[in-house]
Amino acid sequence: MNLDRIDSAILDRLQHDCSLTNLQLAEKVGLSPPACLKRVKRLTEAGYIGKRVALQVPEKFGPCLHMVVEVVMERDHKALYQRFLNSALAAPEVKQCYRVTGEVDFVLIVIVPDMPSYRAFCDRVLYADDNMKKFRTLLSMRRDKFDTAITIG
């Protein structure tokens, strides 16, 4: 499926505010409401729209620490990587998980309320994996930018 200018505009508007009604969205992209609804349905069915969510502001729920955790595995083995990945994905503290190239194997974005919670996460997920060689934790002092939009070009 090739995306045209209007498809891109629909995706951009929904990415920035998915609470727009179909009527508001149609008006913003210059389509009739039925044509807009048809395009949104087509984009969803084609997998361009995975799901619509409300982004919460973690700080509103009390103190929290944002950690960037770099994980290096001992052995490069697909089954062992998958075992670690399953554990990381099951951990509610892990908000993002990336398999990366270079000196580390995984980068995790972890959000916890405090250091004791982080230590418990480390014990349960990181230290529990016997293939985990080492990890490095970067504590975020401030998040200056967070954007989920994909640039369509």
What is the pLDDT at residue 143?
84
Q: Tell me the domains of the chain and their CATH numbers.
A: 5-45 (1.10.10.10), 58-139 (3.30.70.920)
Which tens digits make up the pLDDT trace of 103-152? 999 999 999 999 999 999 999 999 999 999 999 999 999 888 888 877 65
What is the pLDDT at residue 152?
58
Give the pTM.
Answer: 0.80
Q: What burial letters (b/e) apply to 126-145, b meaning 16+ CB within 10 Å?
A: beebeebeebeeeeeeeeee
Q: At CB < 8 A and 24+ separation, what contacts does 46-51 make?
A: 46/1, 48/1, 48/3, 48/7, 48/11, 49/11, 49/14
